[in-house]
Structure 1
Amino acid sequence: MNLRDAVVARPNALNLVRLVLASFVIVSHTWPIGRFGDLWGGEPPFGRWAVSAFFCLSGFLVARSRLRLSIGRFFWHRGLRIFPAAWVCLAVVVFVLAPLSLLKGGEWSPRVVVGFLVRDADLVHMVFGISGTVADGAWVGSMWSLEFELLAYLVAAVLLAGWARRHAVGAPAVALLVLTVWGGSEPHAWQWLLGMFVAGMLVQGISDRVPVSGRLAALSVVALVVLHMAGWERSLWPLPLCYLVLWLGVTVPASWAPRSDISYGVYLYGFPVQVTIEWFLPGLPLVGHMVLALAVSYVLAYASWTLVERPALRLKDVAWSDLRRRSRTAASVR
């Protein structure tokens, strides 16, 4: 079976893969947030690897979406997936978690928090801390990657437009080559993550010719290890990493995967939950901090999926005329 059929034509475990990746981000943040010292000379690399894999998966899936949709509908779908959950998370931080800092000697000013919300609403060049609160360093540190996700959507829209839309391999291949050469062994964050995303797009374009192979997966693991040791992780990982995470998604039993895709919520809430835990329960052992953070983040993420993300996604295919009619109806009621 080829990779495209394995992803599209039958149930898969990609929800589980994404959840594990989001959990790795929380695990990696345990050391710096919980002040457990350095692991491997700094923050553990698990989080960086997980974010890289997220972008690979996103590139694969978003490319499929772009090929099926007009550009307007494409951006509508992407906006519904990213913005509502992020906005609600920001509101939870501002109106629930930040006020709790008062119990630990922090300050909470409505003027400051409104400015925080307005400043971060577009998810670009975000401010992560709220002045005066205990966590004046960062509240939503894991959201740093969202602006690059939005940039990747713009790139997907351009690379798969017009002629390139009918030839979904050439443009991503050229873009990946340019990013790899331009970035060198130490690319900037946008080059590194965009490279992962474009690699996912490229793999999607050739996925009908790529087999689901345990041997290829093993070779991908070897390549990842060798490239990491050689210092070329961020530049040359994209293709083997993309294949490996997709292979896991289609070979792990689909019955193991949760039906609800709570990975985005786990990614959003993990950081503020860990910061809050460190204030109110300082001194927890590393495993205790980690387990509590994962448990609370899963609960909040499930609430986010149920109350925010899934309802928002139900609007994906609504007709523009329906939206205008609803807007006029709401205006007349007011």
Structure 2
Amino acid sequence: METVQLSYPLPQDGRPDDSAKVLAIGDFDGVHLGHREVIQRAVERGAELQLPAAIMTFHPHPRQVLGMDKYTKLLTPLAAKQELLRQLQVDTTYVVDFSESFMRVTPEQFVEHMLVPMKVSTVFVGFDFTFGYKGAGTPDTLCDLAKGRFAVEVVRPFHRNGEKVSSTLIRECLLRGDIAEANALLARPYRLEGTVVHGDGRGRTIGFPTANLEVSQPYVIPANGVYAVQVTVGGRKVGGVMNVGVKPTFVTGLTQPALEAHLFDFHETIYGEDVQVELLAFIREERRFASVQELISQIGQDADQARSILAARKTIQNS
């Protein structure tokens, strides 16, 4: 998959990517089931028309530029989103610079100076797609502005258990610790990426050494608690149990959650290594223990439960 950076306005001619194409437009934060429906429709139409299938997305996230605080953290920062799009057989991802000046572009200007120069054949959008200054453009607006120069297909909402799948819903699931539902909506385990850094070394002294993760991008961090995880390090997948939280048994006043993963049957030194952590299941809430021995006993139980979860998952995958 090729990634092309774009900024408004596009030149009206002479672009190297001005051949006809099918285009899906959206933020696609999470690349969840609803997004996949839009993207898959574009990929299928591209195959039918023998045209490349492309994605247009925006960076930074439009709601970040608009100052919506909860969108300072993302389900899939740009690099993670690009990797997921690559897996969906997208030929090209166009990343549009979403600046304050671009935010003021009208729906008409967006069509005339972005879509028309790209020679789009068909544009796919979700039913709730908005574009242009203050979100004035809707799918109906896009159809009107196309003026027969390109087709517009609007994809209906994707529902699970009677509820519309959305990035907002997934955020809510993560922030209440419902990792099972978040993963179901994403059609994959929720993943964090970062670097292993030095911690306080306390885990090793109590028999449970941990890899301390410093996330590399502004991810949505799930609710404080203990999770069964699968960690990819050095090309290997290793099961483990991870605590997300403020370590109340040992620390007071910590506000930013620490991410500490105990990896099963793993004894290598990996400080400075980049790792990926997939959250598979929520085990329990974080809490303060009356003694270190009580904490050690609970961590042992958490580890046993995580091992069982990982074993059951492996059985399902192999069946």
Which one scores higher on RCO, CA 8 angstroms, separation ≥ 6? 1
Greater strand percent: which structure? 2
How high is the TM-score relative to the length of structure 2? 0.29
